[in-house]
Every structure is written in structure tokens, then in C-alpha cells.
Amino acid sequence: MNRINVMKPWLGTEEAEALASVIESGWVAQGPRVAEFETRFADAAGALFAVATSNCTTALHLALVVAGIGPGDDVVVPSFSFIATANAPTYVGARPVFADVDPVTGNVTADTLLDALTPATRAVIVVDQGGVPVDLDPIRAALDPLGIVVIEDAACGAGSTYRGHPVGAGAELTAWSFHPRKLLTTGEGGMLTTANSEWAERARRLREHAMSVSANARHASVLSPPEEYLEVGFNYRMTDLQAAVGIVQLGRLAEIVARRREIVADYARDLDGVHGLRLVADPPWGTANFQSFWIEVLPDFPLDRDALLARLADDGISARRGIMAAHRQPAYAGRDTGDADLSATERLTDTTLILPVFHQFTADERGRVVASVRSAARRAVA
């Protein structure tokens, strides 16, 4: 019996050819391909500026630096997210303060953010969790008058839409991931998008040691102009090897999203009538790319989440626990991270699991997953 993985990147000969041509060009570090990927990505995301980074975590770090967040500041973030969302404020010496999420979408709302707000809050990071678009307009309406910067962690969000536009276009700064667990991949990679030209310029410098002349510009002239280091920067560069793959992947985005949505619609039809399961779905304000197709195991399902995961594993299906809760991790458990009620976060993190969805997923594979879930629902009753 073949094992079914929860996710597989969709990479082909076009990516391999793009890589080969970068290698032949002799310029493999950050250069013209990164610049081209940035232009194309900004276009696709409806953003004015895009700055490529080594991953989404470093993009989040740069977002907080250019927004001027530092020691003494609080940044409200969902605990219900990959740990990087909470780590970014910690990197700049700020304090992550955890907000709860809506129990249906798994995303923060204006209400859950306001609930967690402290007098020192200067920024929030909202997440399009699992690719479900966050309801951004009410959040901006509540926080803009308070001068709180709204940053979007769209690591999972490429190809999702909010009120007819690509997600991320409505935040002041948006961070993206190209890790293989997401829809588009460059192996590792990230992007920071914004409409603020000063923030974009500073992020572009900071990712390259804050040098006043980029490596690309130095290479362009025989006698390189002398560079200055304007502040303490970082090496958060993407390589041209990664960007070349990213350009091909970006061209596949619409197809990847359409395929995932088709698979999820098939799952929803096949699992219809199974008692005690709730499937993640599009919210009223947008469309999800279903980066993570999660289901909630409700109290009236005969097995709990872990028992259902074990059943699936017995059938060779590598489903995964749902989204983690950062406040329960040793890195944050002992810290003062605010006192908002996190009951929806705790329930979702205990009761959800992620089913396999990937571009090459076959009807047979889906049939195996559905049969395993259905038999778990039946057998346990007897």
C-alpha cells in the first residue's frame, strides 16, 4: 500500500530548465531573476512593491523593523499559527501578545484583536490561516484610528482572494512564504509586499546587509562604486536559483489553486452525510486556496482527533494535526503574552486535522482517504 502524503510540491521540467539556465549564466546569487520575480509577484499580488527574502520568517522580521517596532512595544498575533508569527516580534525585542481566533475560520477578527490589545500595542500580525482569507476591512477600520500597523502573514495565502482581490493587498505590509508546504515553492523563500516606497526601499537594503549599493549594481560596473553600510542589516537574500523556480511556479498559481479547490469540492461531496465532522470552507468575504484542508472532529464523531489520525495512519494516510497553538509551546508557555481568552484556539488546535491535498492527488487516493474516514465513523459506532 502506497503512503499518501499530506502535501507534495508540483515541480517539473520547466523548473529544472529554468535552474539550468541560471547555472549556465554564471550568476546564481541575488540578481536579475530575483528582480524579475519581484516584479511579477508584485503584479500578481496587487502590490506596488515586492522585496524577495530568504523565507517568510525573515520577511516578517523586516516588516516589523521597517514599521519601527522594537523593545517596549507589543505586537498582537494569533497563537493559532505556525510559531514564526510569534517569533518575529520577539526578534525585534517586542512582546508577542496572543489573540484568539474565530472558531469557524481559524482567523483573528477585529473583536479578538481588540480583546487582546494592550496600551503598548503598536502593530498586529493577522494570518490567512491555511489559506482562508482574513476579514481585513473591519480590522483596518478598528485599528487604523489607533495608529496600529496591520501586517499580514500571508505565508499560506498565495492565490486566495479577499473581496475580489488577491489577499495581502489590503495590509500595510504582507509577508509570503515559498516553503514546499505552501502552494508555490522555491525550496525556501519569501517575499515582503507593501505600497509604502520608503519601507520597501529600506527592506531592500536591510536584506542585503544595509549596503548602499546592491551587489547587482556593483556587478554592473567595472569599477564598482564604494558602498556604505547605513545601519545594521541582515543577509536575508533570495538567490537567482530560487527566483528562477519561483517565476515558473508563479505562472502555475491559477492552475494550482483551481486544482486544489476542485479536490476540496470533491472531498466535501464524498464526506457529505458523515456525522460529526466540519470541513473548512470559503468564508462569505472571499475564496480560500485551501493550502491546508482541515476538518474539525466534533464531539458527536465517534472518535477523537488523535484516534482518527491513528486510523488514517493505519491506512497509510499521512494526515496531520491541525494548526498549532504557540502559547502552549515551551518557547512561550512561561512568558507573559497577555491575558486574552484563547478558548477557540485551544479547541481548534485539539480537534482539527489536515487531510492530504496536492496537485497530483488522484481520485483513487481521495477514495482511500474518504473510505478510511467513513469506516472510522462507522466501526467506532458498533
Ligand X SMILES: *Cc1c(COP(=O)(O)O)cnc(C)c1O
Residue with cell 515553492: 185
Name the minimum Å distance from CB 366 to ligand X.
Answer: 24
Instruction: Say whether residue 242 binds ligand X (CB under 6 A).
Output: no
Helix pair angle (363-379, 253-270), 10° resolution? 30
Site for ligand X in 55-94 (CB under 6 A): 55-57, 81-82, 84-85
182 is catalytic: yes
Site for ligand X in 113-142 (CB under 6 A): 127
At 59, is the secondary structure helix, strand, or coil? helix
Of 38-46, 54-62, 112-120, 308-316: span binding ligand X (CB under 6 A): 54-62
- Interface characters, 276-315, with ligand X (x: CB under 6 A): ----------------------------------------
CB atoms under 10 Å from CB of 329, counted, come to: 12
Q: Tell me, what DSSP letter sits at residue 125?
A: E
Pair 172, 189: CB distance under 8 Å:
no
Of 30-38, 153-161, 165-173, 369-377: span binding ligand X (CB under 6 A): 153-161
Instruction: Say whether residue 143 binds ligand X (CB under 6 A).
Output: no
Lay out the sheet containing 149-153: strands in order across: 49-53, 190-194, 173-177, 149-153, 121-127, 74-78, 95-99
Of the residues 182, 252, 305, 311, only one is catalytic, namely 182
Nearest 5 degrees, angle CA 63-CA 56-CA 60? 20
Query: Using CB under 6 A, which of 15, 73, 153, 208 touches ligand X?
Result: 153
Name the minimum Å distance from CB 365 to ligand X.
Answer: 24
What's the Cα-to-Cα distance from 190 to each of 8, 174, 259, rounded to whole Å? 19, 11, 23
Instruction: Say whether residue 49 binds ligand X (CB under 6 A).
Output: no
Query: Using CB under 6 A, which of 155, 203, 309, 355 touches ligand X?
Result: 155
Name the minimum Å distance from CB 212 to ligand X.
Answer: 27
- Interface characters, 175-214, with ligand X (x: CB under 6 A): --x-x----------x------------------------
Nearest 5 degrees, angle CA 62-CA 68-CA 69? 85
Q: Which of 186, 207, 76 is nearest to 139 (CA)?
A: 76
Residues that bind ligand X (CB under 6 A): 55-57, 81-82, 84-85, 127, 153, 155-156, 177, 179, 190
> Catalytic residue numbers?
182
